[in-house]
Amino acid sequence: MQKWIGKRPTMGQKSLKTKYEKLLLQAQNTLLTSNEKILKVIEAECDKKSGRELDGVFALTTESVLFISKRENMTYKYSQISDIDVRTDGKDKNEWQLTLKIGRSKRTFDDIKKNDDSQEFIEILEHMIANQSQDILTTVTHDFDYFLHAERLEDLRTREVKITSFLLKRDDMGFTKNGERLLREKHKNAELIVEGFYQDKQKKGNFIVVDNNVLLYQYDNKERKAEQINKWSYTFFTNAVIDHFAIKTVINNDEGKLVLNSSGKAFANILSKVNIPFKFKKRKWHQKILGFRSGKWWKKSIASLVYLLTLLIIIAIAFGEEPKESDSIKPATEVSNSEEEKVEKEKRLAEEKRLAEEKEKQEEARKQEEKRLAEEQRKKEEEARLAEEKRIAEEQRKKEEEARFAEEKRIAEEEQQQTNVYFKNCTDARAAGAAPVHRGEPGYAKHLDRDGDGIGCDS
């Protein structure tokens, strides 16, 4: 799994590996090409247009962007991605939402935790979209056995290799580790690399390397550089006096002293192996006691107080008054009662929480039921209203139809009547007692109404 999370993963990367290990191993065999390298992986969620949410792993490789999940895998070449949009997730301010613009479409990923891993992921993605041909070194691809010291950084810059910000931060393991890694690269076969210094008139150096010779280095952690300032052959330590303290070791000779912060016995074994004679400093019995070895009064005083206090505590425990049976039982009972009360309280709180959750669920169900009933009632009222409007409209239509039929019938009857009565002239109309004859009345005709005022035989 080192291929996916690197040699020095964060806690988040370790958690991701544990959660998705099987999925990543399967993807390694099916999705990756033989030359494809993983640059960074983070956990994310993909929101699909269908409404489905896919939990999985968002991965950047040297060739493409991958989203790997149990249900579905997605692959996008960097050349397909025209732009990205990164913003705070609306659901959680501690998470990112990342949108890839692929042609005219978009693909959104969210639930990306805001941390150094996701920040590095975004930095790599932006770089690969802009310049895929340029190499990039990340916390996944870097070998943390080798320190990014000044010379290595200069070499990477010369070769135009981009280094992520998080890698520079992650690669800084502190003064000791950084110095050891740098010197281990310079001296691959060194038998010993340890912090220490050499002192004649003044202190010099801060690292000692044993590699066929004994080398003294001055390491500058800020500049990430180490400079060799002295070199001795093993014979330099002939007849030296080795003085072991609790942690450090001092090797004295006529010219000065070499102080090792640790691994003094290992240094003595190396001298023995190459047949260099030396002596161990002999001390009186009391000078072998921790705190009395250096002979400094303030160390002796502190050590004496610590030993005296320890002795008094041992005496108090050994000769102190034994508690009465009732006293010894009482605390146990109190502890037992306290434990029972604690358990009861936890049960009560758990029950209250369960009841509150059930009540909340019931209230939610009740609201949903009321909403459903209200919606059904609204639909019924709407259907009734529409049916009533339809019925009234139908009745109105029928009435209008009947009135129309009645009016047509009346007009037809009047026309029939007019057709049946006929006056040749006004003399006949007056003789029949019908003059004057109004339009619409039986016998009316235009030849009787010469002035056209609708009244015939009116003069």
* Phi, psi (degrees; rounded to nearest 5) at 169: -70, -45
Give the pLDDT of residue 332: 46
**415 pLDDT more than 80:** no
Q: Which residue would you say has higher pLDDT here, 167 or 447?
A: 167
**Nearest in space to 196 (alpha carbons), one of 252, 246, 260:** 260
Residue bearing tokens 């010379």? 151
| Residue of 127, 145, 149 whose CA lies nearest to 136 | 127
pLDDT at 269 over 90: yes
Place 247 in a pLDDT band, splitting at 50, 70 and 90. confident
Structure tokens at 442: 């039986």
**Burial level of 145, CB count in 10 A (0-12/13-18/19+)?**
exposed
Percentage of the chain beyond pLDDT 70 is 92
Average pLDDT, integer, range 423-427: 84
pLDDT at 50: 57
pLDDT at residue 406, as a whole number:
87
- Out of 105-114, 115-124, 304-313, 337-346, the most confident range is 115-124
End-to-end CA distance of the chain: 124
User: Distance (Å, rounded) from C-alpha 187 to C-alpha 181?
Assistant: 10
Average pLDDT score over residue span 292-311: 82
Picking from 205, 278, 206, the residue whose alpha carbon sits closest to that of residue 237 is: 278
- 334 vs 395: CA distance, rounded Å: 89
| pLDDT tens digits, one per residue of 141-192 | 999 999 999 999 999 999 999 999 999 999 999 999 999 999 999 999 999 9
Distance in angstroms (rounded) separating the CA atoms of residues 352 and 346: 10
Using pLDDT thresholds of 50, 70 and 90, give the confidence band for residue 458: confident
Encode pLDDT of 69-121 as tens digits. Answer: 998 899 999 999 999 999 998 888 999 999 999 988 999 999 999 999 999 99
**CA proximity to 421, closest of 403, 404, 440, 408:** 440
pLDDT of 37 above 90: yes
Round to whole Å and give the CA distance between 384 and 381. 5
Length of the chain: 459
